[in-house]
Amino acid sequence: MSSLSYERNPAEIYRKSFETIRQEVDLSRFGKGLDQLVIRLIHSCGMVDIADDVFFSKDAFTSGRNALENGAKVFCDVEMVRKGIIPRMLPSENEVVCLVNDPDVPNIAQKKNTTRSAAQVDLWKDQLKGSIVSIGNAPTALFRLLELLDEGCEKPALIIGMPVGFVGAVESKAELAANPRGVPFVTVAGRRGGSAMAAATVNALAGGLNNNG
């Protein structure tokens, strides 16, 4: 039986991957902790140039990490983000929540003429204080979150704004970066983003590069 030659050891695969990223990307503009976050972002998508499009508040990593350590909930816009977050890496057995399939959501979406991902944000409203919000798919969810903050909603500890796509993605992330409403944030400008990147950001906050998964 023939055997192809390739790296099989998981730890070595991660080590070589992160080493390659460090060799190919200038991480000097990112502070301690945030550099690990950017490495995981790159690792999740395979595009080293994504680092040029990462925008953030200086306190983003610290605020997000502290929130997780203090037991913060993580709200996700879609199940793909929720599934991508690695439970064993979370420091306080944090609850990871996605309500897109809640039975009340279709009615809210129909009434407001919006997406289910955006409609569920209204169900987060009373629990947002001190939480982490990770949006990787729906620009409408990010827009709705910003609207709620404008309406005086309690502030999360961190917004991870990484919706992907051609309609609303660029605009929603630009709005977040221009006016984060006093909330620490991390975003990726432009059309790129996605569930894997949003989940990888939470994983980086949870365990940096110390835990592989």
Active site residue 43: yes
> Do β-strands 132-135 and 158-161 pair in parallel, antiparallel, or remain unpaired?
parallel
Q: Say if CB 136 and CB 199 are below 8 A apart.
A: yes
Task: At 208, list the tokens.
Answer: 């940096």
Backbone conformation region of residue 193, classed left if phi is above 0, alpha if psi is from -120 to 50, else beta: left
Q: Do 184 and 159 contact (CB within 8 A), yes or no?
A: yes
Question: Given CA atoms 66, 19, 29, 162 in this order, what sign does their dihedral have?
Answer: negative
Catalytic residue among 43, 65, 73, 192: 43
Q: What amino acid positions are annotated as catalytic residues? A: 43
